[in-house]
Amino acid sequence: MIAYIIRRLLLMIPTLLGIMVINFIVIQAAPGGPVEQTIAQLRGTALDTTARVTGGGQELMGGGQNAAPGESQYRGARGLDPKFIKEIERMYGFDKPMHERFLMMMKSYLTFDFGNSFFKGRPVVDLIVEKMPVSISLGLWTTLLIYGISIPLGIAKASRDGTPFDFWTSTAIIVGSAIPGFLFAILLIVLFAGGTYWNIFPLRGLTSENWETLSLSGKILDYLWHMVLPITSLVIGSFAGLTMLTKNSFLDQINLQYVTTARAKGNTEQRVLYGHVFRNAMLIVIAGFPSAFIGILFTGALLTEIIFSLDGLGLLGWEAAIGRDYPVMFATLYIFTLLGLVLKLVGDITYMLVDPRIDFEARAI
């Protein structure tokens, strides 16, 4: 196992590097970068009189209105003093070649130095730490509910395989999985958040405005009250895979000889299912928990955070992408990719620990 872990850790280096290189090139090539964003902001304010960019103790006035057309590569820069544009480039590090910027970025990332946000003026690490609890709340509650519902449902379907209960529950979870989470979130808002019908649950945020004045029990209830709609929208379409995996795992075990022997000894069906089958059938399901959590945390909650205005990592990443806040974009990509690779390894190790029959050592990688 040690050799396999070392190989996987070494494999993470080129994987992470490849992901960062591809995304860096694509994002750098996309129009509307931070320099253009700044130019657009200045154009929309008092650029016709005075535009000041402070950097290194120097102020540049946007007075180069006689500059030749087409001399700048940036959209909207026509008529601006080239020195003014150069100063903006220097502020964002665009005065250096692309490969040099990438190498400097990765060197800083090795020590988890992610710099400051271009437009929020705060360290990226502080922003991520500040938003992390919201996303963890969504991911953790969603994962626990999915496991808490899918496992008993899968067991019930396995013990009633081929019955009307099995058919109708399969139909329900397939229909639920076919509905996009963001569409179901909008439906919940229309129905229960004052959209058209009932105004039962809050529309946005994780807490009410008077949350600080509430008692401890009041704070807990207020938090849970705000979590109902976002969690429901995330959970509703996520039952199918885990439920069917649980069912098939139990069906594989139910047909084995030791189950027949346990029944022949006079054990009740509940005793057979939960005393004998459960331990063996749940190995593969429980071992997948780390991967399931990271998948829900970093892929499923993005649109939900945007729709319900939850100030988490998903909304932070969305705002960074829209505003071309490169430090936030690349830092979150780096952290999420690294965390995903590590948890994938943890999931594989968990498989080996819970089921000795699984041997990754025999694989080439």
From 102, 133, 160, give the residue that closes a domain: 102
Task: DSSP letter for 325, please.
Answer: -
How far is residue 178 CA from its own chain's centroid?
20
Same domain membership, residue 155 and residue 71: no
Task: Say if residue 202 is in the same domain as residue 255.
Answer: yes
| Residue 310 sits in the same domain as residue 182 | yes
Q: What is the DSSP string of 172-240?
A: HHHHHHHS-HHHHHHHHHHHHBSSSS-B-S-SS-SS-TTGGGS-HHHHHHHHHHHHHHHHHHHHTTSHH
The conformation of residue 365, written as its DSSP 8-state character, comes to -
Alpha carbon distance 142, 238 (integer Å): 9
Instruction: Report the pLDDT value the prediction gives residue 300, as an integer from 0 to 100.
Output: 58
- Rg (the chain; Cα; Å): 27
- What pLDDT score does 320 carry? 84
Q: From CA 197, how far away is CA 49, in angstroms rounded?
A: 51
Same-domain status, 150 and 203: yes
> Does 300 share its domain with 175?
yes
- 209 and 92 in a common domain: no
Give the span between the Cα atoms of 230 and 218, in whole angstroms.
20
Domain stop point among 38, 71, 102: 102
Residue 135 lies in a domain: yes
Rounded (to 5) percent helix, strand, coil in the chain: 70, 0, 30
Is 192 found in the same domain as 57? no
Is residue 4 within 8 A of residue 361, CB to CB? The reply is: yes
Predicted local distance difference test score (pLDDT) of residue 21: 92
Shared-domain flag, residues 96 and 226: no
pTM of the model: 0.70
Question: Which stretches of the chain are assigned E, i.e. beta strand?
Answer: 54-55, 58-59
> 182: which 2 tokens?
């963001």
User: Tokens 């964003």 — which residue?
Assistant: 37
Residue 54: predicted pLDDT: 38
Cβ atoms of residues 303 and 182 within 8 Å = yes
- Domain of residue 66: give its range: 2-102
> What local confidence, expressed as pLDDT, does residue 65 receive?
39
Contacts of 91 (CB under 8 A, 6+ apart): 38, 53, 55
* Rounded-to-integer distance, Cα 233 and Cα 228, Å: 9
The pLDDT, as a whole number, for residue 18 is: 92
Tally of domains in the chain: 2
At 296 the pLDDT is 66
Q: How many CB atoms lie within 10 A of CB 88?
A: 24
Task: Extract the tokens encoding 198.
Answer: 């009932």
Question: pLDDT tens string for the chain (365 positions)?
Answer: 788 888 888 999 999 999 999 988 888 777 777 777 777 766 664 333 333 433 433 333 333 334 444 445 666 566 666 776 777 677 777 778 888 888 988 898 888 888 888 878 788 888 888 888 888 888 888 888 888 888 889 888 888 888 999 899 989 888 888 887 778 888 888 888 876 778 888 877 777 888 788 888 888 888 888 888 888 888 887 788 888 888 888 888 887 888 888 888 887 877 887 777 877 777 767 766 766 766 666 655 677 888 888 888 878 888 888 878 888 888 888 888 888 888 888 877 877 776 666 666 655 54
CATH of the domain at 175: 1.10.3720.10
The helix or strand, by DSSP H or E, that contains position 124, with its residue range, turns out to be helix 124-159
Tell me, yes or no, whether 172 lies in a domain.
yes
Are 143 and 205 found together in one domain? Answer: yes
Query: Do 132 and 94 sit in the same domain of this protein?
Result: no
Cβ atoms 272, 150 nearer than 8 A: no
Same domain assignment for residues 156 and 28: no
Same domain, 89 and 142: no
Q: What's the confidence (pLDDT) of residue 46? A: 37
Q: How far is CA 67 from CA 83, 94, 326, in A?
A: 11, 21, 29
Instruction: Using alpha carbons, select from 140, 135, 39 the residue that is nearest to residue 80.
Output: 39
Q: Is 178 within the bounds of a domain? A: yes
Q: Are 357 and 1 in contact (CB under 8 A)?
A: no
